[in-house]
Amino acid sequence: MGKFKFLKISKNKKIRLLLKKNHSKICVIFLHGFMSDIEGKKPLTFARFCSKKKINFLTLEYSGHGKSYGKFVKGNISKWTNDVLNTINAKIKNKNLIIIGSSMGSWIAINIILKLKNKIKGFIGISSAPEFLDILMWKKFSNKIKKKILEEKIHHIEKDGWTYPITKQLIVDGKKNKVFNKKINLKIPVTLFHTKKDNVVPIYFSKKILKIFPLAKKKLIIYKDGDHSLSRKKDLTNICRELGNIIQDLS
């Protein structure tokens, strides 16, 4: 699949990325989820798919994720959005962009679409989770946990064998990055995938995203089974099929 590379942002800041270049005018960008990386099934599947289609592909790890620079607890939605913008500006010139966002990646994807409207030609969301920091975390935290975050600046959540450090600055920044109150009047294809069995992010998040795009060619594909990651072979096959349809319409 080619080697992972690094983009040097400054002396001590490097973003790890995977870039597959072709002569196509299209570039697919995959944005991963919270505390994830670019070594999973989804980014590597999409990279192979784009190579077969002979179109450009880019994925990257935000600061504090994978092998990119920085500590996770110092990161937030604004910083991770800027990591993506810096990488696009450095590596992708004059391309039509199709963005795939997974979970938190869909939140960052919508931020990117708001900033690069003229370049965006399609959006695919997988178990999308915009504003999850406020809706699924802060608003559901007990008063005891909220007090701890406000006073100690951090709280660690234990879930499914993972530890998630939630900082005060992350929560505060999340409130500054609201997208459900936005309207993006692009006439682009928007396809969202979600499962009824998602025990992390409810389907209504994807339904709320559709309202952000009033003029889009919208589609919400709901599975009866599967989990939040939607990384089974059949899930990835269906997502790639939808990506292929978007690419074909642009050709």
Indicate whether 44 pLDDT > 80. yes
pLDDT digits (tens, 9 = 90+) for 165-206: 999 999 999 999 999 999 999 999 999 999 999 999 999 999
Kindly list the structural domains of the chain, giving each domain's residue range(s) and its CATH number in brackets, ordered by start: 5-131+180-250 (3.40.50.1820), 132-176 (no CATH)
For the four alpha carbons of 72, 78, 80 and 82, in that order, the dihedral sign comes to negative
Residues 6 or more apart whose Cβ sits within 8 Å of residue 118: none
User: pTM, whole model, 2 decimals?
Assistant: 0.97
Q: Residue range 139-152: average pLDDT?
A: 96
Amino acid at site 3: K
Query: Binning pLDDT at 50, 70 and 90, where does residue 10 land?
Result: confident
Indicate whether 7 pLDDT > 90. yes
Query: Alpha-carbon distance 236 to 93, whole Å?
Result: 28
Indicate whether 42 pLDDT > 90. yes
pLDDT digits (tens, 9 = 90+) for 69-124: 999 999 999 999 999 999 999 999 889 999 999 999 999 999 999 999 999 999 99
Query: Binning pLDDT at 50, 70 and 90, where does residue 2 land?
Result: low
Contact 103, 129 (CB under 8 A): yes
What values do phi and psi take at 140, rounded to 5? Answer: -100, -10
Burial class (CB in 10 A: 0-12, 13-18, 19+), 110: buried
- Provide the pLDDT for residue 158: 87
Contact 123, 188 (CB under 8 A): yes
Coil/strand/helix, residue 146: helix
DSSP for 195-250 reads: ETT-SSS-THHHHHHHHH-TTSEEEEEEESS--TT--SHHHHHHHHHHHHHHHHHH
- Which of 238, 247, 201 is closest to 104 using CA atoms? 201
Average pLDDT, the chain: 96
